[in-house]
Structure 1
Amino acid sequence: MSDFQLVSVHEPAGDQPQAITELSAGLTRGDTDQVLLGATGTGKTFTIAHVIVE
């Protein structure tokens, strides 16, 4: 269980749920390098916050 608590009125949308799942799986596998690509304002920080919670 994470000590980090995400408080937001928004839920992951679009490609974010898949990105969260894949990034979390990469961490579990021990992948040392992963890339999250997205233009400005597409929710990269929000996505990573959800990965941290998982």
Structure 2
Amino acid sequence: MTIFVILLAFLLMLKDIGEYIWGWPNFEFSMDDNKSSFLDINVDLVVNMPCKYK
């Protein structure tokens, strides 16, 4: 497992050095106009509040 982590860290380091030497990647962002593609997320919250019915 340690060898795998060392190899992964080495590959990530080589990738960063390559980006530094040969240029930075270009990222492009755009808005999604499709309204049906929204992700529905349900959130349950627990709030610590004093209870007046002790």
* Bin for the TM-score computed over the shorter chain: 0.3 to 0.5
TM-score by length of 2: 0.32
TM-score by length of 1: 0.32
Structure with max Cα Rg: 2
Higher relative contact order (CA 8 A, sep 6+): 1
